[in-house]
């Protein structure tokens, strides 16, 4: 008798950490001198939106299925400060860190977010299904710092 095969549970930590490292490189190439640090509240906000986008195929950007914005999700996760978000969707089981950073690098709005030196914290989350991979990065400028350039 064969034992049931357990479901595959992908561990995307390497991908998520690689996205943070790539954003660090983009920031430093833009002249930033700060480090980008992982923030667990921003990571939770990213996780919520990643799962929402993965499970609601009509979603393809920043708004959640409940109408929430990235700022709404960050506040709900306990983060205080200005935030921005980048979202990568790939119609396949997997997505590489290079594919993610290329999607964002060649999107002028996303590139501006990644290059913004005020965003010193971030959270990244990724999820996969058989035919869809989603990666969300939420960038944060803590409340004690000035607002990021270009924000209201």
Residue 81 makes CB contacts below 8 A (sequence gap 6+) with 74, 121, 140, 141, 142, 143, 144, 145
pLDDT digit string (tens) for 67-120?
999 999 999 999 999 999 999 999 998 899 999 999 999 999 999 999 999 999
- As a whole number of angstroms, the distance between CA 57 and CA 15 comes to 22
Residue 149's pLDDT is: 53
Q: Is 123 helix (H, G, I), strand (E, B) or coil?
A: strand
CATH code for residues 13-141: 3.40.33.10
Tell me the per-residue pLDDT of 55-79, one tens digit each, with 9 for 90 and over. Answer: 999 888 899 999 999 999 999 999 9
Q: pTM to 2 decimals?
A: 0.87
At residue 30, the pLDDT reads 97
Q: Is the pLDDT assigned to residue 7 strictly greater than 50?
A: no
């Amino acid at each position: 008798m064969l034992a049931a095969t357990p479901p595959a549970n992908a561990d995307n930590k390497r991908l998520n950490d690689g996205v943070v490292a790539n954003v660090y490189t983009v920031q430093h190439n833009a002249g930033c001198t700060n480090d980008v640090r992982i923030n667990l509240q921003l990571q939770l906000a990213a996780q919520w939106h990643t799962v929402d986008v993965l499970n609601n195929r009509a979603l393809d950007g920043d708004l959640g299925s409940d109408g929430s914005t990235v700022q709404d999700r960050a506040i709900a996760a306990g983060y205080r400060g200005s935030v921005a978000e980048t979202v990568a969707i790939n119609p396949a089981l997997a997505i590489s860190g290079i594919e993610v950073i290329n999607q964002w690098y060649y999107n002028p709005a996303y590139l501006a977010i990644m290059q913004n030196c005020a965003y010193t914290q971030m959270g990244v989350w990724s999820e996969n299904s058989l035919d869809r991979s989603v990666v969300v990065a939420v960038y944060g400028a803590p409340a004690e710092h000035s607002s990021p350039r270009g924000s209201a």
